[in-house]
Structure 1
Amino acid sequence: MWTNADRETYRDRSSRYPSDLTDAQWATVAPLLGGYDPLTADLREMVNACLYLEKTGCPWRYLPTDFGPWETVRTWHDRFRADGLWSEIAGLLTRAVRQKRGRPAEPRTAILDSQSVVSGPQAGVRGTDGKKKVRGIKRHVLTCSRGFVLAALVTAANVHDTQAAGWLFDRAAQAGWAPERVKVDGIYTGARMDEAAARHGLDVQVSTRPPEVKGFEPLPLRWRIEATFGTLSTRYRRLTRHWEQSPAAAEDAISIANCHRLLRAYHREQDCAA
């Protein structure tokens, strides 16, 4: 039976859209936007608009006018991407959330996998994943052991996973991540994978399903990246398909969704500790 305390705990306090930042979430990210001169734009609204686009998947011209002209939002969206804002926020929050969950701030174990995604009708790179029979792009993602994205790379779907692994490790290193080991599935083997792992001093640990097991069975630790793909693809409609015209824009969409997840996790941990 619902009590008054339950109603207060679960009351929807959002004044407009569920994707909007709460006051606490805005207070967390606002210092990172202190270097911008917004002129007539409200930076909080620009961030809210980016999150709204990610959650709803609406076209740019369908963006609600609450956020201001869509052209203004697009300008700030592209500026945030060019400045690497989402990666900076994600790096800080990943370390903070891991510490709050009793894990070292710097992940020692990473998980690597890819997801083939059907492309929309827009122009841009695409290919065919012959194994999964998907024509579109492939998202190559490296996460920590808690499932938060450390690096992402988008290629045509016909690019082999081992070819992209080296590029992804390079990108993670540029972002300041230096895991000691990486969990992968059976496709990540061969000379290219060995060379990429050796370049970054990584111990590649292949996890495969036992031969006697029939059907689906989650593998220890590696299931977290599958959960990450599921969360990104189902809770953020802009990621249900590939709607972007460039790999950089597609990678940015992953970064925005990852930042939103981290913000929610960070404040959920704070609320639990309070």
Structure 2
Amino acid sequence: MCNEDRGGDDARSCYPSSLTDAMWAVLAPLLPARDLRKGGRPRVYGDRLVLDSIFYVLRSGCPWRMMPRDLAPADAAHRWFTTWRKNGTWDRVHDELRRRVRVAAGREAEPTAAVLDAQSIKSSEGGECRGFDMGKKTTGRKRHLVVDTMGLILVVMVTSASVNDRPGGRRILQRLAEAFATVALVWADGGYANSIDSSLLSWAKDKLGILLEIVKRTDDVKGFKVLPRRWVVERTLGWLVRNRRLARDYERLTANSEAMIKVAMIRLMTIRLADRPIRWSNATDREAARRINAEQLITT
């Protein structure tokens, strides 16, 4: 067995998805403290082992019941995943890590600008909110994301794939305005407004006080082209699908889908705060890193 201590917080695992000591030092203070006064049966599995189990499912994409035996049992890991979703633990940890990453990069803790986009993804059979995206010819769900200028998620919403960008954009911008009063500018692609229908732009400005700026590609461009601002959210979508659990939506509940996306970002931000080296695996990542460094030099 890979773990030295199956139940304690000092458990170690040999899997690449598992927490290192530096990562655990970042996450441990953010998890809910155990209330020993309530009595009852003591917990058998520690928080670190539970997180290692959840991260294993996230990275490998395996079903919960196919986890290795040296991790937490499937029912225990899934129970804590659901418990932390319902009591807001994932949200609190995610938001705190985002603030820390921004401050460590020399930014303000709360953003003032953001980027909006959506991604249609195939889903497994069954589950709520499944539909057909006529544009992408995909049966499944749609992930609506608003990220800051570093690509860190501010708001996420999972809907049926049949939800168009404009009504979906209206709903997620409403969430954004309720959660972040500081955001005044949002960039989006042409799917959220066109020359015929610009109602979303006027609604966002009048009702939410948000300036929605459309970044369009020129008609003479063939194939893929990196567009200003929009590449930030496209890179975030790429980060997500590198986790095999997110390459397809396997969750039966959209709330679990949203929670799993935040778990993926929690792991990514924990790696950054733990000062682990980042290896750029392709030319897109290297170009994104170059652009970020250039922007930081300009601002400083």
TM-score, normalised to structure 1, is 0.87
Partner AA of 1:75 in structure 2: R
Is the partner of 1:67 in helix, strand or coil?
coil
Q: Is the 8 A contact 1:165 1:196 kept in 2?
A: no
Native 8 Å contact 1:19 1:48 kept in 2: yes
Show the counterpart of 1:30. Answer: 28
Asked whether 1:219 is paired with 2:221, we answer no
For residue 250 of structure 1, the aligned residue among 257, 260, 282 is 257
Unaligned runs of 5+ in 2: 1-11, 36-41, 279-300
Query: Could you say which residue in structure 1 is the equivalent of 2:46?
Result: 42
- Give the equivalent residue in structure 2 for 1:131: 135
- Runs of 5+ consecutive residues of structure 1 not aligned to the other structure: 1-13
Match in the other structure for 2:290: none
Q: Which amino acid aligns with 1:87?
A: D
| Residue identity matched to 1:204 | L
CA RMSD of aligned residues (A): 2.0
Counterpart Cα distance in 2 of 1:192 and 1:173: 14
Task: Decide which of 264, 273, 286 is 1:266's aligned counterpart.
Answer: 273
Asked if the contact 2:26/2:273 (under 8 Å) is kept, the reply is no
Say which SS state the counterpart of residue 139 (structure 1) adopts. Answer: strand
Cα separation, partners in 2 of 1:19 and 1:269, compared to 1, 3 Å = closer
Shift of 1:186: 0.7
One of 10, 13, 16 as aligned partner of 1:18:
16
Task: State the 1:122 CA deviation.
Answer: 3.2
Higher normalized contact order (CA 8 Å, seq sep 6+, divided by chain length): 1
Please give the TM-score of this superposition, normalised by the length of structure 2. Answer: 0.80
Q: Residue type of the partner of 2:202?
A: D
Number of residues of Structure 1 aligned to a counterpart in Structure 2:
257
Q: Deviations over 1:151-195 (max 9, x none)?
A: 110111110111122321233344446311001001112324532
Identical residues among aligned pairs (%): 36
1:34-80: CA deviations, max 9, x gaps? 42346222111111111111101110110112223211111111111
Larger deviation, residues 20-29 vs 173-182:
173-182
Distance 1:270 1:25 in 2: 12
Partner of 1:89: 93
SS of match in other structure, 2:274: helix
CA contact (8 A) 2:124 2:249 kept: yes
Q: Give the conservation status (yes or no) of the 8 Å contact 1:90–1:259.
A: yes
| 8 Å contact kept, 1:165–1:193 | no
Candidates 171, 175, 196, aligned match of 1:171: 175
- Distance in 2, Cα, partners of 1:200 & 1:36: 40
Cα 1:198/1:45, change in 2 over 3 Å:
farther
CA contact (8 A) 1:184 1:207 kept: yes
2:84 paired residue number:
80
Which residue, out of 46, 51, 75, partners 1:71? 75
